[in-house]
C-alpha cells in the first residue's frame, strides 16, 4: 500500500493539479482587501489583482506586461498616483525600506509593503492596504497620552505664569493716576483687560479637556471686531501686513461670553498674520475682517492671502495638539472650536495652498 502511494507521487499525471491550485491561489489574491502587484525578475508586472488596478483606476490588461517606466508613462494614470508610485518605488526598492506610508488626495492613509529577496526568487511583491482606521486609533491614543501629560504639567505651569501676571496687574493699577494725567488711561485699561484675558487663557489651557461654561451676555458684533482689530493693528504693521475691517451694514447682536469671543477672533487673526508672514514671494499681506447677516445667523469672517493649507492640514486643523508651528501648542483652534460650539455656533474653513485661507464663524443672532 505504501509502495503504491510512493509510486503515485512520481506519476506525470499529477501535473494536472497545478492548474486548479494556481487558480485557487489567484482567486484568493483577487478577493483579499489589499492591492497586490507582482514584478518578475526582469522588472515586468506579471500579476495584479482587482484591488490594485481599481486603486490605480486602470485595467488589468493595461498593467500586465508593463515595467515601472511604462506604468509611469501611462496617460490614464493620474499625476498624483504617478507621484505616489514613483515615491514608493524609490523608498522601497532604492532605499531598501520594507514599507512606506502616504496620504492620498482624498485624505485616506495607505501603507505599501514590499516582499523580495531569496524567498521571492528575484521577484518583487508589492501590497497596498488602506490604514485610515489604524491611523485614527493611533491619533486618538496619542491625544489621550498628550492630555494625560498636560494634566501632570498644568498645576506647576499655572502657578509660575499667574504670579508675574498678578504683579504686572498691581503695578499697572498703581500707575493709573499717572496715565490719567497724561491722558493715556485707555492704555492702562487695555493692559488690564489683556492681563485678565491672559489669565482666562491659562485657565482655558488647564481645563482644555473641559472648557468652562460661557458667562452669557449681549455682545455687539461691530464692537467685538473693532476692539480685536485695534489690539492687533500694530502687531500686523510690524509683520508687514494690513488688516481691513469691512463696514457693517447693520447692528448685529449675539449672546455669549465676550472674553471667549474675543479669544477666538484674536486667535484667528494672529494665525492669519503668521500665515501671511510665511509667504515666500514677499507679497503684501492682507487680512480681511467683517461680518454680515445670513438668515437668523451672523457670519463673522477672517480671510488672508497667506500661504494656505493642504488637505491633510485642513483635516487635522481642529484636533487637539495638532500644529504646524515650530513653537505651537496645537490648542488654539481646538479650544476656539469648542468655544464656538458651546455658544451654539460653528467654525468653517476653506483654504488653497499659496492663495490664502477663509475662516467663517457662524453664530445665532439675537433680535
pLDDT reported for residue 26: 75
Closest CA to 314 of 298, 333, 299: 333
Does domain 216-367 sit in CATH 3.30.565.10?
A: yes
Contacts of 86 (CB under 8 A, 6+ apart): 72
Q: Which residues of the chain have pLDDT under 70?
A: 1-24, 143-144, 146-156, 158-159, 201, 203-214, 278, 280-282, 326-330
What's the fold here for domain 132-210?
Answer: Helix Hairpins (1.10.287)
pLDDT reported for residue 121: 83
What DSSP string runs through 265-276? HHHHHHHHHHHH
Domain boundaries, the chain: 2-130, 132-210, 216-367
Closest CA to 129 of 90, 107, 102: 102
Provide the grid cell at 324.
Answer: 504646524
Closest CA to 114 of 128, 135, 104: 128
Distance CA 2, CA 177 (A): 112
Contacts of 161 (CB under 8 A, 6+ apart): 202
pLDDT reported for residue 20: 44
DSSP state of 219: E
pLDDT reported for residue 10: 36
Domains 2-130 and 132-210 share a fold: no
pLDDT reported for residue 301: 96
pTM of the model: 0.49
pLDDT reported for residue 246: 93
What's the fold here for domain 2-130?
Answer: Beta-Lactamase (3.30.450)
Amino acid at each position: 500500500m505504501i509502495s503504491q502511494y510512493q509510486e503515485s507521487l512520481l506519476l506525470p499525471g499529477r501535473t494536472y493539479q497545478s492548474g486548479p491550485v494556481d487558480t485557487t491561489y489567484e482567486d484568493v489574491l483577487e478577493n483579499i482587501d489589499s492591492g497586490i502587484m507582482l514584478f518578475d525578475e526582469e522588472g515586468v508586472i506579471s500579476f495584479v489583482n482587482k484591488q490594485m488596478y481599481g486603486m490605480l483606476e486602470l485595467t488589468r490588461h493595461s498593467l500586465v506586461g508593463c515595467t515601472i517606466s511604462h506604468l509611469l508613462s501611462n496617460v490614464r494614470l493620474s499625476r498624483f498616483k504617478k507621484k505616489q508610485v514613483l515615491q514608493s518605488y524609490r523608498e522601497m526598492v532604492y532605499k531598501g525600506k520594507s514599507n512606506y506610508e502616504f496620504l492620498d488626495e482624498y485624505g485616506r492613509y495607505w501603507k505599501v509593503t514590499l516582499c523580495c529577496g531569496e524567498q521571492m526568487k528575484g521577484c518583487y511583491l508589492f501590497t497596498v492596504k488602506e490604514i485610515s482606521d489604524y491611523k485614527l486609533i493611533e491619533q486618538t491614543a496619542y491625544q489621550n497620552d498628550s492630555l494625560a501629560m498636560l494634566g501632570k504639567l498644568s498645576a506647576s505651569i499655572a502657578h509660575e505664569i499667574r504670579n508675574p501676571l498678578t504683579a504686572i496687574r498691581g503695578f499697572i493699577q498703581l500707575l493709573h493716576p499717572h496715565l490719567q494725567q497724561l491722558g493715556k488711561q485707555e492704555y492702562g485699561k487695555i493692559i488690564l483687560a489683556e492681563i485678565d484675558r491672559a489669565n482666562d487663557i491659562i485657565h482655558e489651557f488647564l481645563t482644555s479637556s473641559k472648557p468652562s461654561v460661557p458667562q452669557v451676555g449681549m455682545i455687539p458684533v461691530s464692537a467685538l471686531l473693532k476692539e480685536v482689530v485695534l489690539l492687533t493693528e500694530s502687531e500686523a504693521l510690524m509683520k508687514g501686513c494690513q488688516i481691513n475691517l469691512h463696514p457693517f451694514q447693520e447692528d448685529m447682536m449675539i449672546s455669549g461670553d465676550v472674553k471667549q469671543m474675543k479669544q477666538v477672533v484674536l486667535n484667528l487673526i494672529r494665525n492669519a498674520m503668521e500665515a501671511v508672514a510665511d509667504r515666500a514671494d514677499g507679497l503684501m499681506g492682507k487680512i480681511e475682517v467683517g461680518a454680515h447677516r445670513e438668515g437668523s445667523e451672523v457670519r463673522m469672517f477672517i480671510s488672508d492671502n497667506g500661504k494656505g493649507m493642504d488637505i491633510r492640514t485642513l483635516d487635522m486643523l481642529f484636533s487637539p495638539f495638532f500644529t504646524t508651528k515650530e513653537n505651537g501648542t496645537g490648542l488654539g483652534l481646538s479650544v476656539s472650536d469648542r468655544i464656538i460650539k458651546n455658544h451654539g455656533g460653528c467654525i468653517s474653513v476653506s483654504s488653497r495652498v499659496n492663495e490664502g485661507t477663509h475662516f467663517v464663524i457662524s453664530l445665532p443672532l439675537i433680535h
